[in-house]
Amino acid sequence: MQPNWSSHYANRTNRMKGSAIRELLKLTERPEVISFGGGMPAPEIFPVDEVGKACDRILKNFSDKALQYGTTEGYNPLREMLASDAKKRGLSCDIDNILITSGSQQALDLLGKVFIDPGDKILVENPTYLGTLQAWNSYECDYVTVKSDEFGILPDSLEEELKKKPKLLYVIPNFQNPTGISFTLERRKKVVELADKYGVPLIEDDPYGRLRYDGVDLPSLAQLDSELRGQTNGQYNGNVIYLSTFSKILAPGIRLAWVIGPAEAVSKMAQAKQGVDLNTSTLNQLIAYEVGKDGFIDKHIEVIRRVYHERRDVMMDAMVEHFPQKIEWTHPEGGLFIWVTLPEGNDAAKLMVEALKENVAYVPGGSFHPLGGGDNTMRLNFSFSNPQTINEGIGRLARVLKTHLK
Amino acid sequence: MQPNWSSHYANRTNRMKGSAIRELLKLTERPEVISFGGGMPAPEIFPVDEVGKACDRILKNFSDKALQYGTTEGYNPLREMLASDAKKRGLSCDIDNILITSGSQQALDLLGKVFIDPGDKILVENPTYLGTLQAWNSYECDYVTVKSDEFGILPDSLEEELKKKPKLLYVIPNFQNPTGISFTLERRKKVVELADKYGVPLIEDDPYGRLRYDGVDLPSLAQLDSELRGQTNGQYNGNVIYLSTFSKILAPGIRLAWVIGPAEAVSKMAQAKQGVDLNTSTLNQLIAYEVGKDGFIDKHIEVIRRVYHERRDVMMDAMVEHFPQKIEWTHPEGGLFIWVTLPEGNDAAKLMVEALKENVAYVPGGSFHPLGGGDNTMRLNFSFSNPQTINEGIGRLARVLKTHLK
């Protein structure tokens, strides 16, 4: 008798839908397709030489560490480096505030494991990062969406929902995925104050913060939270768990990210991580440390900024030139994405079929909306394709829109 | 007000005790301590040159792949290599049967996520692998233990429990962690038959199978399951999910392992993996592929076998020479561990305090027993220390036992 595997699946798997987008994006892997779909960095500026030199040094001098099991919390010199870097940029913390994770996606899963009971209410922006929904769906939470405008999440809507004591508040204050919108300083302060007032833990997801092309860097919510508490020295002990990653400033292939949070919560997440993967690749941790310890990453970020800045401008210019007038889009000051809104009544998922015929792809915006809706939206990535390809792709997409838009 | 983080934790965290062992083992990190505690490979035989050459080739030729995001299922050439290797050793399968994971610990977590509802009964050996208990505790299952003897799990006890329709059966048939015991061919066949008869999915954890020092290799449960079904060609489609890892045959620092299972279950696990870490480090997958594709790993396993064979013999000889007579231990034909049973009434956890005074360490056996008991047992690792250190350490441990044994 053939085993019937699906009869054995846990109930939570009913919430774990495979991403329809992901299936769609498989179609975009044909080489003739110009894809604005993924969130991938530009491979031509990966710091290949520095990674190679780091590998040489590591295997020559530290192979016994790099190839061996490591501690669950992470490689201590790397944790020190990250704590010191956070301090330099305004957030006082120490090594016990830092947990190394296997990409930020793992940090999201660990947050789910440590905090989310089935039925818990989680406050999120609408739209919000799809990967977070995928991570937390398996913990069977319910999402409550809070409205945003071009300055970030709306304080009045937020307060109304915080009063109902949700389990967590999750936001992406810098160049949000998918919208590209950033919170203003005033909004940041307000969000931190409100989360504190109602005692709701605040999850700050910041994969793109270092990738700003216009304007000035704004403080993290974690930093503002410290300042609100007057705790601007020593260990961080506030209400924010901050997530960031090497994926966008070094390379996603090493799957390396970090959490900065109160020592108690970080230690609980480390306990969860022990059961999940024992530790993050020690080799990859040593690579990030060796590449980063003498300041190379800061210099490399300048290169990334220059390249993505140009690509964003090229994409926005091409959109202005070619897109039909009824279409609106965001003007992100950084990050990887532009968010497009078609006139009501259009379905970006259906349009994808036409777009693929023209060999161009994007992510339909519906799946970033945890409670449905947003069918007339789409996310465009500008980091992966070079300027010429961006121009060509936006041209193709404009033709599709001109032909099929209602 | 300081946030009270523990008031926000999910209910499942009550089951996620930090490993007491792990805290204990931190004490063994003093350089003067000889630790038989961890399950670590010998770092002096890590294939450093081959990993270095692989890194060079990869960064020269495939950096755009190696440093980029990859597919959740894993790097296809690596999956092909693993499928072909499994076929060579008797299990017919193809690429859709293979999922790459971030260490076997992640495979265990994914199994929990896909299969285990709170309150589910899981059949395990007693004692069994501590990491599995840690992974699955967070899914709030209940363990049912099945008795074993020196030939493996006992079929009569097993059948009695299988009749009650547990959710999963989990076994480690080769050189079990912690006991070092292996299932005989007869027991293997019986276990496969019984799991099939009662329709209970069988999880076969096989991290050490290639590390045999005496006797002959025995077929995997997955292979026997295929044979039982007469499905010895093409895709594997049976009742076993098989786990193995590069940690013991290449290096644990790259955190790389794989699952072989029915395509449907593998695809469900991949769906879960997407929410958990998107994909396993592409760099590390390419390293394993580049190191393994021309057969180096088979050659390297011969080196590992030779070294560990000697270390096992040295440890067993030293135990015969120095240990008090009332103590018993297993005689593993492979793997990394010897399992020691002290006379009833002794507490190996308490003895650890004395052992640490003598600068020698082991893992007290209690925590490998999911329902308690086993206080008079301990696990000794022989792979990590060199022969001279093993002799010295067993001498120290023997002195502790002679002085403090009841």
- Residue A223 in contact with residue A318, Cβ under 8 Å? no
Concatenated DSSP letters of B260-298: E--HHHHHHHHHHHHHHHSS--HHHHHHHHHHHTTTHHH
Which chain A residues touch B63 with a CB distance below 8 Å?
43, 46, 48, 51
Residue type, A70: G
Tokens matching residue A290: 């060796």
CATH architecture of the domain covering A48-293: 3-Layer(aba) Sandwich (3.40)
CA A375, CA A353: separation in Å to the nearest integer? Answer: 14
Tokens matching residue A146: 């809070």
CA B63, CA A55: separation in Å to the nearest integer? Answer: 13
Cut 0.95: pTM above it: yes
Q: What is chain A's Cα-based Rg? A: 21
pLDDT band at A3 (very low <50, low <70, confident <90, very high): confident
pLDDT band at B25 (very low <50, low <70, confident <90, very high): low
Which chain A residues touch B138 with a CB distance below 8 Å?
113, 272, 275
Q: At what angle do helices B221-229 and B185-197 cross, to 10 degrees?
A: 60
> With 0-12 CB in 10 A as exposed, 13-18 as middle and 19+ as buried, what is B310?
middle
* pLDDT for residue B40: 95
Q: Is A268 within 8 Å of B13 when comparing Cβ atoms?
A: yes
Mean pLDDT of A194-211: 97
pLDDT band at B20 (very low <50, low <70, confident <90, very high): low
A10, closest residue in chain B (CA to CA)? B115
Closest-CA distance, A275 to chain B, in angstroms, reads 4
Which chain B residues touch A284 with a CB distance below 8 Å?
281, 283-284
A246, closest residue in chain B (CA to CA)? B67
A49, closest residue in chain B (CA to CA)? B59
B257-260 and B240-245 strand pairing: antiparallel
- Residue B110 in contact with residue B276, Cβ under 8 Å? yes
Q: Is A201 within 8 Å of B265 when comparing Cβ atoms?
A: no
- Does B375 score more than 90 pLDDT? yes
Which chain B residues touch A55 with a CB distance below 8 Å?
52, 55-56, 59
- Does A1 score more than 80 pLDDT? no
pLDDT band at B258 (very low <50, low <70, confident <90, very high): very high
Q: Is A138 within 8 Å of B9 when comparing Cβ atoms?
A: no
* pLDDT for residue B29: 73
CATH architecture of the domain covering B49-294: 3-Layer(aba) Sandwich (3.40)
Interface residue of A15, A22, A102, A122 to substitute, partner B, most B CBs within 10 Å: A102
Considering only the beta carbons, identify the residue of A3, A18, A275 that sits closest to B134.
A275
Domain residue limits, chain A: 19-39+298-404, 48-293
Distance of CA A338 to the CA centre of its chain: 14
Outline where A124-220 has alpha helix (H).
130-137, 155-162, 185-197
pLDDT band at B1 (very low <50, low <70, confident <90, very high): low
Q: Looking at chain A, how many residues does it have?
A: 406
* pLDDT for residue B255: 98
List, in order, residues 6 or more apart from B216 with CB less than 8 Å away: none
Which chain B residues touch A113 with a CB distance below 8 Å?
10, 12-13, 138
pLDDT digits (tens, 9 = 90+) for A371-385: 999 999 999 999 999
Residue in A365, A364, A345 with CA at minimum distance from that of residue A356: A364
Q: Looking at chain B, how many residues does it have?
A: 406
* pLDDT for residue B155: 97
Mean pLDDT (chain B) is 96
Whether ipTM > 0.90 holds is yes
CA A281, CA A241: separation in Å to the nearest integer? Answer: 23
- Residue B218 in contact with residue B183, Cβ under 8 Å? yes
Taking the alpha carbons at both ends of chain B, their separation in whole angstroms is 53
Residue type, A109: D
Tokens matching residue B181: 């015991």
CA B19, CA B399: separation in Å to the nearest integer? Answer: 27
Name the DSSP class of A90: T
- Residue B237 in contact with residue A2, Cβ under 8 Å? yes
Choose which CATH entry (3.40.50.300, 3.40.50.920, 3.90.1150.10, 3.90.25.10) describes domain A19-39+298-404.
3.90.1150.10
* pLDDT for residue A25: 66
Judge if A19-39+298-404 and A48-293 fold alike in CATH terms.
Answer: no
Residue in B78, B97, B123, B75 with CA at minimum distance from that of residue B265: B97
Which chain A residues touch B384 with a CB distance below 8 Å?
none
Residue B245: helix, strand or coil by DSSP?
Answer: strand
- Does A18 score more than 80 pLDDT? no
Half-sphere exposure of A182 (CA within 13 A, CB side): 26
Which chain A residues touch B5 with a CB distance below 8 Å?
201, 262, 264-265, 268
B195, closest residue in chain A (CA to CA)? A3
pLDDT digits (tens, 9 = 90+) for A132-162: 999 999 999 999 999 999 999 999 999 999 9
pLDDT digits (tens, 9 = 90+) for B331-353: 999 999 999 999 999 999 999 99
CA A75, CA A57: separation in Å to the nearest integer? Answer: 16
CA B157, CA A404: separation in Å to the nearest integer? Answer: 67
Q: Is B252 within 8 Å of A69 when comparing Cβ atoms?
A: yes
Q: Is B201 within 8 Å of A3 when comparing Cβ atoms?
A: yes
pLDDT band at A26 (very low <50, low <70, confident <90, very high): confident
Our CA angle for A53, B72, A340, nearest 5°, is: 95
Mean pLDDT of B309-315: 98
CATH architecture of the domain covering B11-47+298-404: Alpha-Beta Complex (3.90)
Closest-CA distance, A323 to chain B, in angstroms, reads 30
Mean pLDDT of A272-277: 96
pLDDT digits (tens, 9 = 90+) for B133-184: 999 999 999 999 999 999 999 999 999 999 999 999 999 999 999 999 999 9
Q: What is the dihedral of CA B22, B26, B31, B35, to 10 degrees?
A: -20
CA B296, CA B294: separation in Å to the nearest integer? Answer: 6
Closest-CA distance, B63 to chain A, in angstroms, reads 7
Considering only the beta carbons, identify the residue of A9, A134, A137 that sits closest to B114.
A9
Q: What is chain B's Cα-based Rg? A: 21
CA A346, CA A352: separation in Å to the nearest integer? Answer: 11
pLDDT digits (tens, 9 = 90+) for A238-274: 999 999 999 999 999 999 999 999 999 999 999 999 9
Closest-CA distance, A364 to chain B, in angstroms, reads 19
Q: Helix (H) and strand (E) counts for chain A? A: 14, 15
- Does A95 score more than 80 pLDDT? yes
Report the DSSP beta bridge partners of residue A99.
A259
List, in order, residues 6 or more apart from A216 with CB less than 8 Å away: none
CA A140, CA B213: separation in Å to the nearest integer? Answer: 47
CA A73, CA B312: separation in Å to the nearest integer? Answer: 31
B58, closest residue in chain A (CA to CA)? A52
